[in-house]
Amino acid sequence: MMDKKIKLIMLLLASFAFLIFGAYFVSKNIIKPRATQPKINLAIYPSNTTFSPEEEKEFQVVATFLDGGNLKLTYAKFVIQFPRNRLELSDYVWTPDNFRQIRVDGMQAANSSGRIIVRLGAISLDQAPPLSGSLVLARIKFRAKQRAGGEGEIRFVRSNLEFVHSGEQNIQVGSVQGSRVSFESSGGQSPSPTPTNTPTPTPPPTGGQTREPSPTPTQPPGSAPTSSPTTAPTPTPTQQPSGGGGAGTGGSTTFRILVKFQGISGLPKSGVRELPVKIGLQRVGSRNIMYKTVNFRAKEGGVWEGQVAYNIPTNLYFIFIKGPKHIGKKICEERPREGYPGAYRCPQARAIRLESGRGYNFDFTGITLLVGDLPEQDGLVNAYDLSLVRNLLGKTDADSLAKADVNLDGVVDTQDFALIQAALSVRYDDY
């Protein structure tokens, strides 16, 4: 009796174990595992090198992908830190042609901070590189300072790495390897603690100006270089900064700005006559962008006009503009032009000179502000923006129109959808 019971229990246990094992085997081998998690390893080459005094060397930032499947790299952000008391960025940063430089710090910004911030967006999904093998993300030239001596490291800032693939997911960052660099000191002297090359700030202007005193830039950084990395960049600021950084008359600098939005060619049919537009002002050499949101009013011919005032010292600036359903744009000229809508990029080493207390008229209607980043805005165009329009197709209520009627004709329809879909190839704010 007892024996039979035990046998039965044993049999049950055995078949249970067999079932579990069987299920495990099936899930592991028969049902194909879902696409594995793609991974990226990062390295800076050469991984070990020695500089003679004032020697220039090129470094490569290389990404190696694992388990990428058919995915592609669509966005890359990395920050490289270097010992700025021993090294200086000596040439602008080369990045691949199939990426748009959303942000690449120029020489002045890099050499005053010891960091190079690089943000790249794939120009189009077709041209985006596959997540396989290795990819040179950047070539960077550094020059050793005259009496450097000692050693240091060129490395990634681990907390500042972001890579996104075509499936709209972050790519897991695996190993991250920097470059060990040592420096021969000149004339056998002891390594000199060379002071950093932070520009000496001019005294802050009197009156209620901006927070930080403004160093007078010797040259604006090449914020969006596109030409070949072999040629030395020739900074051609629109105008030279004059004397002291804050030599203004004080008071606010006012701007009257004209812009055009994609898909709006006249007075909007929907009756909307005002749009909140975010304006940003960035002093060349500063990381800080001062944002203000002001209402722009509709005029004839699809032109919108807005006014904004800033308390700023006289200096060279970049202007950023972002509409309520739009992709942000960086503008570095008083009269920007473009070959086709949305094509404008800041020419290298250009900036707009603004004087404290003066009034300016900026006609930016030579370019078009592309739609794509719908509220709540997050700086990029992605599946969220697209599905928002899709979900509101056919709607005419105020809330839906405020969110997704990008051409302001009073209905969310396929025209709006098509405009957002086209914007997926641009994707990111131009900051």
The DSSP secondary structure of 311-365, one letter per residue, reads: ---SEEEEEEEE-TTB--EEE-SSS---SSTT---PPTT--EEE-TT-EEEEE-T
Residue closer to Ca ion, measured from CB, 110 or 419: 419
How far does Cα 163 stand from its chain's mean position?
A: 12
CB of 254 to Ca ion, least distance (A): 31
* β-strand partners of 43: 62, 177
277 closest CA partner among 323, 310, 325, 320: 323
Residue closer to Ca ion, measured from CB, 153 or 378: 378
Which pair of tokens denotes residue 400? Answer: 């839906």
Contacts of 312 (CB under 8 A, 6+ apart): 209, 210, 248, 253, 281, 283, 290, 354, 356
Strand ranges in 231-358 using DSSP code E only, listed in sequence order: 253-260, 274-283, 289-298, 303-310, 315-322, 329-331, 352-354
CB of 407 to Ca ion, least distance (A): 5
Residue closer to Ca ion, measured from CB, 128 or 381: 381
Contacts to Ca ion by CB under 5 A: 373, 378, 385, 405, 407, 409, 416
Question: CB of 341 within 8 A of CB of 327?
Answer: no
Residue closer to Ca ion, measured from CB, 86 or 165: 165
CB of 109 to Ca ion, least distance (A): 27
CB of 416 to Ca ion, least distance (A): 4
Residue 1: Cβ within 10 Å count: 5
CB of 406 to Ca ion, least distance (A): 6
308 closest CA partner among 288, 294, 297, 321: 294
Secondary structure (3-state) at 386: helix
Residue closer to Ca ion, measured from CB, 91 or 385: 385
CB of 377 to Ca ion, least distance (A): 6
* β-strand partners of 426: none
Which pair of tokens denotes residue 250? Answer: 């004080």
Residue closer to Ca ion, measured from CB, 362 or 428: 428
Residue closer to Ca ion, measured from CB, 192 or 421: 421
Secondary structure (3-state) at 422: helix
CB of 412 to Ca ion, least distance (A): 6
